[in-house]
Amino acid sequence: MLLMEWIGIAVLIALDQVTKYLIASNPAGFLNKEIIPGFFYLTYVKNTGAAWSILSGQTMILSLVSAVAVLAMLWALEKTRKEGKKLLFSALVLMTAGAAGNLIDRLLLGFVRDFLNFYIFGYDFPVFNVADICLCVGVGLLILHTILEPDSKETD
């Protein structure tokens, strides 16, 4: 993999870890701290599960799955770079950084630090973090890639 890909992944992981550290260093100060009234709050949460706290308490399984996913995406990144599929490549960079950011938390702390809390049309959306943003945007780009660049190989 080229140096720029590693730098991009490292910058996204660093952004994730720094924001988590800043919030976790003063958890009492970030218990539902209102930023935009009725819409956006900083709320420090220790999530022992995955998205929406599914598989809560299954840190070892989630860590193993995350580690395998990161390794698979690193392999796919190298293959994709050689094929010149830029949209897919960008999706994989984001998803790798997001999965790695949350994996670091699971391995070092036994939980993932979440803190971004939105109330959308009165619905308290699950609290998330920068790594989750990377994952979601990456998956969105992956879907867009699938729509815009369907596999040219046809199976008969």
Which sequence positions are flagged as catalytic? 114, 132
Q: Are 107 and 137 in contact (CB under 8 A)?
A: no
CA-nearest of 1, 11, 151, 3 to 94 is: 11
- List CB contacts of 61: < 8 A, sequence separation 6 or more: 55
Cite the beta strand spans of 17-111 per DSSP E: 33-36, 40-47
Phi, psi (5° rounding) for residue 107? -70, -40
CA-nearest of 59, 27, 138, 39 to 91 is: 138
